[in-house]
Amino acid sequence: MYTAIMVLVVMVGIGAVFGFILALANKKFSMEVNPLIHIVEDALPKGQCGACGYAGCMAYAEAVVLNQEVPPNLCVPGKDAVAKAVAELTGKVAEQVEPRVAHIRCRGTVDKATSSYSYNGIEDCAAASLVQGGPKGCKNGCVGFGNCVGSCPFGAMTMGDKGLPIVDMKKCTGCGACEAACPKKVIQMISTNAHVKVDCNSKDKGAVARKVCTVACIGCGICVKNCSHGAIEVKDNLAVVDSKICVEKCSEATCFAKCPTGAINIASQIQVVQSATNLKATV
Amino acid sequence: MREYLALFIGSVIVNNFVLTRFLGLCIFFGVSKSLNASLGMGMAVTSVITLSSILAWVVYHFVLLPYGLTFMTTIVFVILIASFVQLLELIIKKQAPALYNMWGIYLVLIATNCIVLSVPILSVESNYGFGMSVVFAIGSGLGFALALVLMASLREKLVYADVPKALEGSGVAFIVAGMLSLAFLGFSGMI
């Protein structure tokens, strides 16, 4: 009987002491969490891609609600719809988000680009790049093991049968996860309004570039001469388009027509009207 | 001094909680995917084990033992640890937000973990004094952290390995953990 009473006393005692301490601590250390943070987080796509520059959607929601200087339009996958929703919730003015998509700056499929050796290691672009700059003849081209495909949080990329990744423009949100995953910096985010795009990343001299790939940019500069607005220049043997000048001044692109290797192309296929309906992440 | 050192090394390596006693396996497999996370978890577990062991020792020796209620040890310790972790979470959240951001999610996981419960129980069952039980707790925590960090380093490299399809992910992690455990078996009998 004595034991039973003691058990009861001790258990109730311990429970009461801890309950009391916890209740006290809860009051003393209580933190006000702004309920708006969760509402804003719900409005975000939850791809956790980090394109906004924060660790994830939750971190961005917290920053945008608590910090007046954080703009509401940082969510790249969310585009205008999400920017507007976040702006409305936080009472900030939304500036337009420039919609972007991933652009693969390489057309060197297995039949067009040479390979310098046969690679037999780990099927990973970063790992393959460590061995003599990768198995491809062109050391700036796509390695083709699909690190970008694996990194896409929206399932917008697939590996084509000719060794180059294919971007599904309808699913691509322009978050830039693939850009970060590519060890060769072949992938670049470009504006969906872009008129032309350079489908090559080769920084080799013309003769070398041509030797390893039939569709490489050889840095000849014909496109530069054909552009009447001065939007193109050749940097490191590679044509670079200043998209701002290109989009604002040019209405009818002519630069790509004379390209001897077809490395510069009109960007019609990326000008797909993107709706905010396909935003939910697949992961 | 000698016995303290022996106990410390014993709890870190020879009787490593994860690899020779097979406790705390849930966190061990859950958090060992990245080295950073495993370091944070290792530190969090070490501090929680140490603090809750001290608390448990006090309660055992000043409440349970004098009233002859040692058969209640397990259930009392469960309540102790669960409430203590809650309290710790509240305090850290308020006082050290940076630490909370690093530990926050792990603390909740720890509250119900067997390794945190088993250390105070083993410690009172072995009749350790106060100093001994603190050393035992720190050693066990560090041993857990060591196992976690080792496993995380292995698994980070494992990502690049060409693992058979059927064994990808958890399968190969179990195999690696088994090998690691076999390696730790080599320490047995050292103390």
Residue B23 pLDDT > 50 = yes
Per-residue pLDDT at B102:
66
Ranges A29-43, A114-128, A243-257, most confident: A114-128
For residues A78 and B151, the model is more confident at B151
Residue A11 to residue B76, Cβ atoms within 8 A:
yes
Rounded average pLDDT over A18-40: 83
Which tens digit of pLDDT belongs to each residue from A63-92? 888 887 788 888 888 878 888 888 888 887
Q: Domain residues of chain B, as ranges?
A: 2-185
**Interatomic CA distance for residues A213 and A202, integer angstroms:** 9
Residue B178 pLDDT > 90 = yes
CA distance readout (Å), B34 to A49, A60, A122, A226, A283:
18, 23, 20, 52, 19
Q: Nearest CB to A18: which of B63, B69, B79?
A: B79
Which tens digit of pLDDT belongs to each residue from B73-122? 898 999 888 888 888 888 887 777 777 776 656 677 777 788 889 999 99
CA atoms A106, A111, A117, A122: torsion sign: positive
Per-residue pLDDT at B135:
94
Per-residue pLDDT at A7:
87
All residues of chain B having their beta carbon less than 8 Å from the beta carbon of residue A30 are: 94
Residue B95 to residue A29, Cβ atoms within 8 A:
yes
Instruction: Give CA torsion, residues A37, A38, A40, A43, to 10 deg.
Output: 170
**DSSP codes, B74-143:** HHHHHHHHHHHHHHHHHHHHHH-HHHHHHHHHHHHHHHT-HHHHHHHHHHHHTT--HHHHHHHHHHHHHH
Residue A94 pLDDT > 80 = no
Residue B160 to residue A124, Cβ atoms within 8 A:
yes
Contact (Cβ atoms closer than 8 angstroms) between residue B89 and residue A25: no
Whether residue A20 lies within 8 A of chain B, CB to CB, comes out as no
Per-residue pLDDT at A269:
54
Residue B156's pLDDT band (boundaries 50, 70, 90)?
A: confident
Residue B99 C-alpha from the chain's centroid: 19
CA distance A278 to chain B (A): 29
Check if the interface score ipTM surpasses 0.90.
no
- A110-114, A130-134, A275-279, B25-29, range with the lowest pLDDT: A275-279
CA distance A66 to chain B (A): 15
Per-residue pLDDT at A96:
67
Residue A280 pLDDT > 50 = no
- A177-200 burial: b if 16+ Cβ within 10 Å, else e: bbbebbbbebbbbbbbebbbbbbb
- Please enumerate in sequence order all residues whose Cβ is within 8 A of that of B105, keeping only pairs 6 or more positions apart, or say none: none
For residues B143 and B2, the model is more confident at B143
Rounded average pLDDT over A168-191: 88
Which tens digit of pLDDT belongs to each residue from A266-277? 876 554 434 333
- Please enumerate in sequence order all residues whose Cβ is within 8 A of that of B13, keeping only pairs 6 or more positions apart, or say none: B143, B146, B184, B187, B190
Rg, C-alpha atoms of chain B? 17
For residues B27 and A137, the model is more confident at A137
Residue A279 pLDDT > 90 = no
Least Cα distance to A75 among A104, A107, A40 occurs for: A40
Mean pLDDT of chain A: 83
CA distance A119 to chain B (A): 14
Instruction: For residue A152, report the phi and psi dihedrals to the nearest 5 degrees.
Output: -70, 115
Residue A25 to residue B72, Cβ atoms within 8 A:
no
Per-residue pLDDT at A236:
87
* Residue B95, both tokens: 């006082």
